[in-house]
Amino acid sequence: MNTITAAITAVGAYVPDFVLTNKVLETMVDTNDEWITTRTGIKERRILKDADKGTSYLAIKAAQDLIAKANIDPLEIDMVIMATATPDMMVASTGVFVATEIGATNAFAYDLQAACSSFLYGMSTAAAYVQSGRYKKVLLIGADKMSSIVDYTDRATCIIFGDGAGAVLFEPNYEGLGLQDEYLRSDGVGRDFLKIPAGGSLIPPSEETVKNRQHNIMQDGKTVFKYAVTNMADASELILQRNNLTNQDVDFLVPHQANKRIIDATAGRLELDDSKVLVNIERYGNTTSGTLPLVLADFEHKLKKGDNVIFAAFGGGFTWGSIYLKWAYDKN
C-alpha cells in the first residue's frame, strides 16, 4: 500500500471589517505610529466590534470561505480541530459549535490551546489523524478574538493584537506531498511571562479579579521577545538541517506574525531572501491562532505544487516549533 502523507488541499480566511490603525491607537493610549511600526512592524489590525459575537463567529466565517472555495460538502468532513486561545466560553467546546454551524454534522470536534503555537500544533495533530488512514478530511481552524482579552489602556499589549481566523483542509496524499517533518517543543518557564492570570481554576473570577484587570492578557515583552527570537530560529534551522535543506531549497517561510523583528531574526538565521518570507503583520497584527492560516490565505496565489514551505511559531507557556511541508496544489 502506498504511504499516506497529509497535505493541505484548501485554505479559507476571514477578518472583521473594522480597522484599528496606529493613528487611532494614538488617541487611546500614550503611543505613536512611528514607535509601533519601528518596534513591531504593525500598521493596523482588525477588530470584531460586535459584542454578541465571539471567536466562533470568526471561525465559522473562515470555514465557510474554505468550503465555498473548495466546493466541498461539509458532511464529508471527518473532524474539526479548533485552534484558539480565546474560546467562546469555558467547558463548552467552541470547535463543536463551529462544526455544527457549518454543517459538518458527521465530524467530531474539539479545541486545541497552545497560545500562539496552537495552529502549528494543530497541523501536527491534523496530519497525524490523516496519516493514520482513519480520516480523509480534517478541517483545522485557527481563530482568535484577541480584542476580548486585551486591555486597551495597556500600551504594551493593545498595539500588538488583532482579531482574525483562517482554516485549512488536510487530506491524504500519495505523491509524497504535505507534512514532511516537525519539531515541536514547550517549556513551562514561560507561564510567568505571558498569561491571563485569572479566570481559571487557580484564580477563579471574582469582583476583585475584574477590578484588577486580571482577565486581560499580560506579558513581559522583553523576556518573551528574547525566547521567541531564539527558539523560533533554532527550531527552523534544525528542521532544515534534519531534512538536508539549504536556504536555496526553501521556497517560503511562513512565520508566526507576532513581531516583525522576530520574523526578520528567524529569516536571517536561515539566510532567506525577503522574497521568500511571507509577511502580513502590518495589516493584521498578531491574531494568535489565526496568523499562520491568514498568511497562507493571503499568499496562496504564490504557492506552487511541490514548494518547500517552512512554518514556525512561538507562543505563551512557552510553546514553539517548526514544520516542514511540501505544498500540494497550484491555485486555479
* Catalytic sites, residue numbers: 116, 256, 286
Output the DSSP codes for 153-192: T-HHHHTTB-EEEEEEEEEEESSS-EEEEEEEEE-GGGGG
What φ, ψ does residue 307 adopt, rounded to 5°? -60, 140
Sign of CA dihedral 75, 81, 85, 88: positive
Q: Tell me how many degrees the CA angle 161-162-164 measures, rounded to the nearest 5.
A: 140
- Whether the CB-CB separation of 332 and 275 falls below 8 Å is answered with no
Q: Which residue has the cell 504557492?
A: 303
Give how far Cα 74 sits from Cα of 63, 67, 170, 300, Å.
10, 7, 14, 22
How far the first Cα of the chain sits from its last, in Å, is 30
Task: Give the count of alpha carbons within 13 A of 284, CB side only.
Answer: 30
**Helix, strand, or coil (residue 49):** coil
Single out the residue of 126, 182, 164 nearest to residue 20, CA to CA.
164
CA distance 310 to 235: 10
Contact in structure between 47 and 16 (CB atoms under 8 Å): yes
